[in-house]
Amino acid sequence: MSNSKNYDVLIIGSGGAGLSLALRLADYSVRVAVLSKFALTAGSTYYAQGGISAVFDADDSIESHIDDTLDAGAGLCNPDIVRLTVTHGKKSINWLREQGVVFTEEQTADGEIKLHLNREGGHSHRRIVHTADATGKAVSLSLIERAQEHTNITLLEHHNVVELITDKTDKRVVGAYVLDSKQQQVNTITARVVVLATGGASKVYLYSTNPQSATGDGIALAWRAGCQISNMEFMQFHPTCLYHPHAQSFLISEAVRGEGGKLILPDGSPFMHKFDARAELAPRDIVARAIDHEIKKRGIDCVYLDISHKSEAFIREHFPTIYETCLKFDIDITKQPIPVVPAAHYTCGGVLTDSYARTNITNLYAIGEVASTGLHGANRMASNSLLECLVFAERASEDILQKLAAIAPAAAIPDWDESQVIDSDEEVVVSHNWHELRRFMWDYVGIVRTDKRLDRAMNRVDLLKKEIAEYYAHFRVTSDLLELRNLVIVAELIIRCAKQRKESRGLHYTLDYPETDDSQPPQNTVLTP
């Protein structure tokens, strides 16, 4: 029995990028399906605290935002892409407000009501538009509500893509095989256009600020389909994740440092001034390495972030989510410093795209964290990520709407064949390999690397790939197995990119080549299947 469905556009991922694109297309009578691996709110957008960078302040400028982004990107940003993205900032914020997103406002001395702007690391001005300290939640819920109301959008929760389907004759994508996790069956979905909006890959590491869904699915799917992948060595580690045995992946927003929070050692002494003149407001790679250095040098478990010098009213107003969450773990941030450690946070590389989010596979697009657009270079500046989602969703929609009518529907596609496989009798293989992978990636391919560590990691990846391939060939697919299969590919791509870069730049720091190579123009790392 056929389990085939057909849409004009298939969007894989239900975060800020995917839903923004769906809404922009659906208003033009395009039939859109949006797949969510888990619940619609399970992606990284929902958990984003800080906000969205855009120039609103009279003292700020587009040029300043561009300069800050280029500086953070350590020579690898595409200046044209940076300018394109930054100049769309105000327009993107206004579009979100039209969708019902309510941002935090303030009243000026002369009675004017305007957006309240935070400042975060790497930014020379206040330009972070936010909804208290839960911006992503506000954006996610508003976009979900709008999408649920739209008759041209079909939202499919608990659907995990097994493989993209490509027409080998003309190298174009025509759909995907998709596991319905509730029904435990693989369906065929065909579409004229497929868009990857699956987010990042930070769960390849043992410690991460990301939700469980961030397993690099889109990057692995694109790689197997024949897409070019770029700059995977640049995995961003957020400097401040809550350190507590019962707290899982809770991020302490950059805005805490932006509002005067100080990083201190257990004895109360500050240390960031020793690493960078900007101290706590240095870019994330510098702050994360500084914390990692102090932890390893002193043999301590964590450092502390102290905002308690601010008034209780200020803290509770600006950081209600952080305040309430920490209080659950008996940490009163109005009186105590917050124990913090770095954790994997953002994938700066990904599927290589152009300025319209097109990949090198015809009719396959990639938007949001899954993509490598040229915006972030060697290090993403704080709060440029949601901006990128919004801008490239708009860019992709323009290109798709222009060409959609001319795209011929795919020929008949055979159903997924699982006649030669059985249900697994040893799920422990999946859980064991998952843990082993994330542990050695943390130990060998983390904040500080060496050639020897990378070689060790690659040896283990090669062994795991063989085990996982054998397991995949014999047993029916599950969501856990699909994630593991994707994670091991992501790990390999990170290591391969890291091994190619014989210098330290941005987020990639190696003890074997501790200096940045300025003897030649900086080069992006590009891998071709």
Active site residue ranges:
284
pLDDT in tens, 8-32: 999 999 999 999 999 999 999 999 9
The answer for residues whose C-beta is within 8 angstroms of residue 422's C-beta and 6 or more apart is: 474, 475, 476
- 255 vs 339: CA distance, rounded Å: 16
Q: Which of 193, 143, 235, 486 has the alpha carbon at shortest distance from 356?
A: 193
Residue 491 has pLDDT above 90, yes or no: yes
pLDDT in tens, 112-150: 899 999 998 889 999 999 999 899 999 999 999 999 999
377, 71 Cβ separation under 8 angstroms: no
- 241 vs 205: CA distance, rounded Å: 14
- 487 vs 461: CA distance, rounded Å: 10
335, 265 Cβ separation under 8 angstroms: no
Percent of the chain with pLDDT over 70: 99
CATH code for 428-527?
Answer: 1.20.58.100
For the chain, what is the radius of gyration of the CA atoms? 22
The domain locations on the chain are 4-233+348-406, 235-344, 428-527
- 118 vs 51: CA distance, rounded Å: 8
Residue the block writes with tokens 């197995």: 481
* 282 vs 451, higher pLDDT: 451
What is the crossing angle of helices 79-87 and 385-403, to 10°? 90
Residue 48 has pLDDT above 90, yes or no: no
The neighbouring-strand residues paired with 36 are 157
Class of the CATH-defined domain 235-344:
alpha beta
CATH fold of the domain at 4-233+348-406: FAD/NAD(P)-binding domain (3.50.50)
Q: How confident is the model at residue 90 (pLDDT cuts 50, 70, 90)?
A: very high
Q: Do the first three CATH levels of 4-233+348-406 and 428-527 match, i.e. the same topology?
A: no
| pLDDT in the model for residue 429 | 82
pLDDT in tens, 393-442: 999 999 999 999 999 887 788 889 887 777 776 778 888 999 999 999 99
Mean pLDDT over all residues of the chain? 94
pLDDT in tens, 332-360: 999 999 999 999 999 999 999 999 999 99
317, 336 Cβ separation under 8 angstroms: no
pLDDT in tens, 304-333: 999 999 999 999 999 999 999 999 999 999
**Beta-strand relationship, 113-115 and 105-107:** antiparallel
Q: Which of 520, 517, 503, 529 has the alpha carbon at shortest distance from 234?
A: 503
Q: Which of 482, 481, 496 has the alpha carbon at shortest distance from 445?
A: 496
| pLDDT in the model for residue 2 | 54
| pLDDT in the model for residue 1 | 42
- The kind and range of the H/E element at 344 are strand 338-347
pLDDT in tens, 448-466: 999 999 999 999 999 999 9
pLDDT in tens, 148-197: 999 999 999 999 999 999 997 888 999 999 999 999 999 999 999 999 99
Q: Which of 471, 357, 370, 483 has the alpha carbon at shortest distance from 38?
A: 483
Q: How confident is the model at residue 254 (pLDDT cuts 50, 70, 90)?
A: confident
